[in-house]
Amino acid sequence: MTLPERAARAWHGDSADDAYEYDRATAVSPVGNGVYEGVLDPGWVIGSALNGGYVMALAGRAIALELTGRGHTDPFSVSAYFLTPSVPGPVTVRVRTVRHGGRRSTVAATVTQQQDGAEVERITLLATYGALADNPPEVLLETPVVALPPVEQCVAMADGGGEAPPLMHRFDIRFDPATAGWALGRPSGEPELRGWFSLADDRPLDAVSMLLVLDAFPPVTFGLGQMGWAPTLELTAHVRAVPVPGPVAVRLTGSNVAGGHFAEDCEVWDSTGRLVAQSRQLALLPRPTHR
């Protein structure tokens, strides 16, 4: 199979395609009654846990499979509440239909893992799926695409000289140098990170994979020099259009850093300048002295 063939198959959501590492790592098998089984891959670890966006994408793929018969395979809105850190190994996704409509379906889903002989819930989700291609084409008001330097003037994680965590080998992120100072110990002081994103093996991005992209960057608090892990309490993603092939432009902005929490907004544009996805998460401020 040639690369374009692989791309075309992945592009059309053919889940039998395991030529790309994203497809292998997010593969789930139906075992009936809305239950799907998969394996969380250690290559997607950041810190001591799996990246939340990766686990969301795996769950999002299970939901898409569950709704394939309805033709509702694109996430419109996904709200994920993070309960306990996911770890490499077997994982179960349970999808329960809340409501089927002609244009949209809403489901509740849980992501669980066995731990010490008990089933422990990692993430609980609500989601509305539909078919993005069936939405009317009119764009009445656009969110202007973030201004980024050309990719060759941007900074890859490896350029910082440090040893990147496993997750960073899955991604090809090129940071706008103006927002990459934290990697060299000189944070910008601004709660903003910007850059280009592709999967490392150039697997084309589709609607479900936006759940991964929206949580792929480091916490926006890196820009403020707060370098610790920032656990997400809740993340809601809105996917608004299927991206065209190619790298996407990403902007993270942080706000209301107060009371031990902060809001992080992420926006993703495809190469046509269309805002294809956005998210907001409520996260805990890193407090190194308390962990």
Q: Does 227 bind a copy of itself (CB under 8 A)?
A: no
Tokens of 108: 């509740």
Closer Cβ to a copy of itself, 115 or 255, answer by number: 255
Q: Does 121 bind a copy of itself (CB under 8 A)?
A: yes
Angle, CA 80 vertex, CA 78 and CA 106 arms, to 5°: 40
In Å, the largest CA–CA distance within the chain is: 53
Q: Does 224 bind a copy of itself (CB under 8 A)?
A: yes
Q: How many residues bind a copy of itself (CB under 8 A)?
A: 50
Return the number of other C-beta atoms located less than 10 Å from residue 41's C-beta: 20
Considering only 26-34, 54-62, 135-143, 211-219, which stretch makes contact with a copy of itself by CB under 8 A?
A: 135-143
Closest Cα partner for 50 from 41, 59, 38, 61?
Answer: 41
Closer Cβ to a copy of itself, 51 or 236, answer by number: 236
CB of 124 to a copy of itself, least distance (A): 5
Q: Which residues contact 28 (CB under 8 A, 6 or more apart)?
A: 36, 37, 38, 58, 61, 62, 65, 93
Closer Cβ to a copy of itself, 123 or 167, answer by number: 123
Distance in angstroms (rounded) separating the CA atoms of residues 17 and 86: 25
Considering only 4-12, 37-45, 161-169, 280-288, which stretch makes contact with a copy of itself by CB under 8 A?
A: 280-288
Query: CA gyration radius for the chain?
Result: 18
Residue 18 has what DSSP assignment?
-
CB of 209 to a copy of itself, least distance (A): 19
Per-residue x/- marks for a copy of itself, 90-109, CB under 8 A? --------xx----x-x-x-
The answer to whether 271 touches 145, Cβ cutoff 8 Å, is no
Considering only 53-61, 149-157, 234-242, 243-251, which stretch makes contact with a copy of itself by CB under 8 A?
A: 234-242
Q: Which residues contact 67 (CB under 8 A, 6 or more apart)?
A: 73, 105, 107, 129
CB of 43 to a copy of itself, least distance (A): 28
Closer Cβ to a copy of itself, 14 or 121, answer by number: 121
> In 3-51, where does DSSP find H-type helix?
3-11, 21-25
Name which of residues 239 to 268 contact a copy of itself (CB under 8 A): 240-241, 254-263
Q: According to CB under 8 A, which one of 126, 145, 151, 227 is a site residue for a copy of itself?
A: 126
Q: Does 7 bind a copy of itself (CB under 8 A)?
A: no
CB of 274 to a copy of itself, least distance (A): 8
Give phi and psi for 172, each to the nearest 5.
Answer: -115, 90
Q: Give the SS3 label for residue 151.
A: helix
Residue with tokens 């480091």: 218
Name which of residues 156 to 195 contact a copy of itself (CB under 8 A): 191
Q: According to CB under 8 A, which one of 84, 149, 178, 228 is a site residue for a copy of itself?
A: 84
N-term to C-term CA, the chain = 48
Tokens of 231: 């656990």
Name which of residues 47 to 76 contact a copy of itself (CB under 8 A): 76
Q: Please report, as ranges, the residues that interact with a copy of itself according to CB under 8 A.
A: 76-77, 79, 81, 83-84, 98-99, 104, 106, 108, 121, 124-126, 128, 132, 135-143, 191, 224, 233-234, 236, 238, 240-241, 254-263, 274-275, 278, 280, 282, 285
